[in-house]
Amino acid sequence: MTEATAAVTPLDRVMELYEKDDLVRRLGITIVSVEAGRVELALEPNEDTLNSHALVHGGMVFILADTAFAYAFASHGRPAVTTQGEIAYLAPALSGVRLTAVAAEVHRKGAVGIYDVLVTDTRGEAIASFRGQGRIPRAPAA
């Protein structure tokens, strides 16, 4: 097998998305690990990510979780779009405490997938629980 025909790995698929995702990179979200159907991302909050209570903004936690979901879905091949995302905020995300989001596949069949994401902090405290549903978009008609 030549390098040109080498199998594309889940990490390759996720890195392709990550390299095109300027917002995620600007926010400081990084890839920790990738397996088929499972992705772990991290965020080091800074003053730009805080809300008026000096806590990490809930929108930042949502972006971290939604991105982990999207990358876990795409690790199988084609990128998907979120059709539904629901988050439960379980504890405040404190300034200066690294956040980690682990997305794991719950169900995938055809073009549809459901993934659960747990966001924790460096102390292991659960910050948020997210469930995302997505679909691989149909190719546009020619």
What's the rounded Cα separation, in Å, for the pair 79 and 131?
Answer: 17
90-135 confidence digits (pLDDT tens): 999 998 899 999 999 999 998 899 999 999 999 999 999 999 999 9
CA distances to 67, 71, 82, 97, 116 from 38, rounded to whole Å, are 12, 8, 16, 23, 10
pLDDT, residue 1, reads 47
Q: pTM, whole model, 2 decimals?
A: 0.91
pLDDT, residue 44, reads 93
Structural domains for the chain:
7-135 (3.10.129.10)
25-47 confidence digits (pLDDT tens): 999 999 999 999 999 999 999 88
pLDDT, residue 78, reads 83
Q: Which residues have CB under 8 Å from 69's CB, separation 6+?
A: 82, 85, 103, 115, 117, 130, 132, 134
45-86 confidence digits (pLDDT tens): 988 888 999 999 999 999 999 999 999 999 998 888 899 999
